[in-house]
Amino acid sequence: MAEVTSALPDPETMAQFCVAVLAIIVAWDAWWLGRQRIDIPKLGELSNGGYAWESNQSQEVSRQWANLLTMGAMMVLPWMLAELSNTPIIWVWIWDILLAIHLVSLLIPKRYAVTNTHLFADGQRYEWNRLKLAKKQPKKRIMLLRKGWGPFGPLPLGGDRDALDKAANLIVTILQEEE
């Protein structure tokens, strides 16, 4: 009987590729996180009729709980597969370090702003015509949805109840004007 040769790529090459992609994602998210103070230099009422606020760490935990659980799973699973795939453990360590950095970035307080033209969240700028309010709103955050993304487009906004109430009123007014 002829021996079957494996057509699978080299485990170390695949690990290096996966780590490189993750490093790009972590760097990209860190860059956007740094931009939030440039895009939103002032908190409170804005001169254009908008409003800007900042969350705290516990509000970000509430906002990001699903992502935090996902990061935990992504940190554990490679350890189970590394030996089976003959992947050098150094790449699993680097993977976990990058995910830990990303996990910490999820917990850093964020700045948000609502203006007549855009929503600023997570260092990004979203045009209102690309967003809609979720029909069911959670108690501890505002849930917007990115149009066209289906279930993969939730955009939760964190903050204290007073800030969220002010922002929600502005968002409802702006979205009604968009229609």
Checking if the pLDDT of 10 tops 80, the result is yes
Say how many CA atoms lie within 13 Å of 82 toward its Cβ: 19
pLDDT for 70: 93
Going by the DSSP 8-state scheme, the letter that residue 108 receives in this structure is S
The model's confidence at residue 42, banded by pLDDT at 50, 70 and 90, is very high
142's enclosing H/E stretch is strand 142-146
Structure tokens at 89: 């453990």
Q: What is the pLDDT of residues 133-142, one digit of tens each?
A: 988 888 888 9
Taking the mean position of all CA atoms in its chain, how far away is CA 124?
10
**Mean pLDDT for all residues in the chain:** 90
Enumerate the domain spans of the chain: 12-178
**One-letter amino acid identity for 6?**
S
Q: What is the pLDDT of residues 64-82, one digit of tens each?
A: 888 899 999 999 999 998 8
Start-to-end C-alpha separation, the chain: 69
**Spatial separation of the C-alpha atoms in residues 40 and 109, rounded to whole Å:** 13
